[in-house]
Amino acid sequence: MGLPQTVGFDEQTNELLIIDQTLLPVRLEILRISEVNALCDAIKKLKVRGAPAIGVAAAIGLYAVAYRFEEVSEDGFFYALEKYAERINSTRPTAKNLSWALERMLNCAKACKGQGIEGILSAMKAEAVAVRDEDIKTCKLIGEYGETLLSDGDTVMTVCNAGALAAVEYGTALSPIYTAKEKGKEIKVYSLETRPLLQGARLTSFELTENGIDTTLICDNMAATVLKSGKIKGIFTGADRVTARGDAANKIGTLMLAILAKYYGVPFYVCVPYSTVDFSLQSGDEIVIEERDGDEIKSAWYKETLVSPKVKVYNPAFDVTPAELITAFITEKGVKKPSELGFKL
């Protein structure tokens, strides 16, 4: 891969490292984080984003913050740890990987109660490394399984960024494309620009072209025209949270693509690690959908606000695709229909 890891861990200084994605593709800058306000700000403002990347950043970040606690008693340490984990968890509600990773770090710390703060920190450090390493392995496996669905010369479509910039390396939805390339298959990609924050235009197009993939950028409202042309072999997306029945929350616009895919007979694949699956929920209606500031639509990319100050704005960051519109999930355990996955339909 042509870029540094999206989320890294400086094990010497005990700091979280992230690529600041708000600066891409103009500048590639690495941020060092060891303080809770900076960590929350980075997740909230999408300096680090994408469900798996947020999870890994939270795991390493919580450890980096805890390493700097001035608490001398274990009770004080745990009080602060839980408070900070709660704060980090509240930054973005939709991605399951965030609470999954924080819970994993808290459970690891609790299992070491009574061993002293040094012992707890050393276990947490090993756990943070494991979360990062498992993400790399999982994404690679998603690529291996997903690649079997692709033939040399295929053209696929994707939305948002579920690539290397959304995980530590490779990503989920783009991993099959990178793996196919490694195996000598040339895959072309149509990337939706993904209003309002342009993850497709700024991030997916950038990382794909940096990795030598033939990429065509389209506005979101051009998807139907491209699908109607018959050139798209499959749509590959990621997800932020998948329910037990297989409903999948992903970047706003994904549902529109799934409906179009059904109409034009194009397979619709959702690429996820199991850490994205929330078995406590059945229906996608139960998923909390993050709503973001209206300025992201009204003014973020313009020199001046384009719309009347009197106008109201609705800015949901995600939508939910029902299991019935999903051809298959591509996971680290294989390519399976929702009903074969333990997602009960």
For the bound state, the minimum distance from the C-beta of residue 159 to ligand MRU, rounded and expressed in Å, comes to 7
Q: What is the 3-state secondary structure (H, E, C) of the chain?
A: CCCCCCEEEECCCCEEEEECCCCCCCCCCEEEECCHHHHHHHHHCCCCCCHHHHHHHHHHHHHHHHHCCCCCCHHHHHHHHHHHHHHHHCCCCCCHHHHHHHHHHHHHHHHCCCCHHHHHHHHHHHHHHHHHHHHHHHHHHHHHHHHCCCCCCCEEEECCCCCHHHCCCCCCCCHHHHHHHHCCCCCEEEEECCCCCCHHHHHHHHHHHHCCCEEEEECHHHHHHHHHCCCCCEEEECCCEEECCCCEEEECCHHHHHHHHHHHCCCEEEECCHHHEECCCCCHHHCCCCECCCHHHHCCCCCCCCCCCCCCCCCECEEEECHHHCCEEEECCEEECHHHCCCCC
Q: How far is the CB of 253 from ligand MRU (least distance, A)?
A: 9
Q: By CB under 6 A, which span of 46-54, 176-184, 296-304, 306-314 interacts with ligand MRU? A: 46-54
Per-residue x/- marks for ligand MRU, 293-332, CB under 6 A?
------------------------x---------------
Interaction with ligand MRU in 89-118: which residues (CB under 6 A)?
Answer: 95
Q: How far is CA 18 from CA 159, 258, 287, 329, in A?
A: 22, 32, 27, 28
Q: Which stretch binds ligand MRU (CB under 6 A): 3-11, 24-32, 44-52, 259-267?
A: 44-52
Q: Which of 132, 195, 251, 298 binds ligand MRU (CB under 6 A)?
A: 251
Which residue in the set 171, 196, 246, 338 belongs to the binding site for ligand MRU (CB under 6 A)?
Answer: 171
240 is catalytic: yes
The smaller minimum CB distance to ligand MRU, of residues 46 and 121, is found at 46
Cβ atoms of residues 325 and 261 within 8 Å: yes
Q: C-beta of 52: minimal distance to ligand MRU in Å?
A: 5
The catalytic residue among 154, 240, 247, 319 is: 240
Cβ nearer to ligand MRU, comparing 53 with 85: 53
Determine if 238 is a binding residue for ligand MRU (CB under 6 A): yes
Angle between helices 116-147 and 51-67 (to 10 degrees): 170
- The 253-292 contact track toward ligand MRU, x by CB under 6 A, reads ----------------------------------------
When the beta carbons of 14 and 91 are compared against ligand MRU, the nearer one is: 91
**Closest of 260, 247, 275 to residue 53, by C-alpha:** 275
Residue nearer to ligand MRU on the CB measure, 36 or 272: 272
Stretch 195-214 residues interacting with ligand MRU (CB under 6 A): 199
**240 lies in the binding site for ligand MRU (CB under 6 A):** yes
**Closest chain position to ligand MRU (CB):** 238
36, 39, 42, 51: which one contacts ligand MRU (CB under 6 A)?
Answer: 51
Q: What is the dihedral of CA 314, 316, 317, 322, to 10 degrees?
A: -140
Q: Quick one: which segment of 43-51, 210-218, 305-313, 321-329 binds ligand MRU (CB under 6 A)?
A: 43-51
Q: Which two tokens stand for residue 44?
A: 């909230």
Counting residues that bind ligand MRU (by CB under 6 A) gives 19
Can you tell me which of 49, 202, 233, 298 binds ligand MRU, judged by CB under 6 A? 49
Among 7, 160, 168, 235, binds ligand MRU (CB under 6 A): 160
Query: What residues act catalytically?
Result: 240
Binding residues (CB under 6 A) for ligand MRU: these are 46, 49-52, 95, 160, 162, 166-167, 171-172, 199, 238-240, 250-251, 317
